[in-house]
């Protein structure tokens, strides 16, 4: 009996130390899980997961569950992002958004802001990074939360001449603060 208890404790450590989950949205257990598979149980769970919504479900010769505590963080491979449990639900730690933008010519010493980009869940105090679709030719690009759920990209020209960029798709990533 001690061997089973010890092995179960090691399995718990496997999933609780730097946990990686396959998905946070499915609500029915996979038909052919492998030992070590981990999921966040989605809403309206069925079958072996019934009643275990938001729990971590992990498979080791059968399904086992851990109820998360506030502050737990996991990496969700299906979304390539981190999720955080706040004590009642899981939320993504990052929010990705993009905008097609054709910035006007920017004179030296001046700046230009994009139109508002919808980034549902973004809030004041969150960190925002921006990725341009091409070389910025010496321009400085920043991004910030301008209002709840909204991000703006700001370009500043500190070169010695005007810069005229082409149209392209700009990407922003909001990291929850």
CB atoms within 10 A of CB 40: 23
Give the closest residue to 94 by CA, choosing from 172, 171, 173.
Answer: 173
DSSP one-letter code for 67 = -
Per-residue pLDDT of the chain (177 residues; tens, 9 = 90+): 455 567 777 766 766 777 899 999 999 999 999 998 999 999 999 999 999 999 999 998 999 999 999 999 999 999 888 999 999 999 988 999 999 999 999 999 999 999 999 999 999 999 999 999 999 999 999 999 999 999 999 999 999 999 999 999 999 999 987
- Residue labelled with tokens 């569950």: 65
Write phi, then psi, for 155 (nearest 5 degrees).
-110, 140
Is 46 in a helix, a strand, or coil? coil
């Amino acid at each position: 009996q001690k061997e089973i208890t010890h092995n179960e404790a090691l399995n718990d450590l496997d999933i609780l130390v730097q946990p990686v989950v396959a998905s946070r949205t499915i609500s029915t257990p996979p038909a052919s899980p492998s030992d070590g598979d981990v999921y966040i149980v989605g809403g309206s769970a069925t079958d072996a997961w019934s009643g275990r919504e938001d729990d971590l479900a992990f498979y080791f010769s059968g399904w086992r569950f851990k109820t998360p505590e506030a502050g737990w963080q996991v990496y969700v491979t299906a979304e390539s992002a981190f999720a955080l449990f706040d004590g009642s639900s899981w939320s993504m730690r990052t929010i990705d958004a993009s905008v097609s933008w054709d910035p006007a010519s920017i004179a030296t010493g001046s700046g230009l802001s994009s139109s508002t980009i919808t980034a549902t869940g973004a809030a004041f105090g969150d960190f925002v990074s921006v990725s341009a679709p091409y070389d910025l030719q010496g321009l400085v690009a920043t991004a910030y939360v301008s209002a709840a759920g909204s991000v703006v990209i700001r370009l500043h020209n500190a070169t010695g001449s005007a810069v005229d960029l082409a149209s392209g798709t700009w990407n922003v990533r909001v990291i929850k603060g």
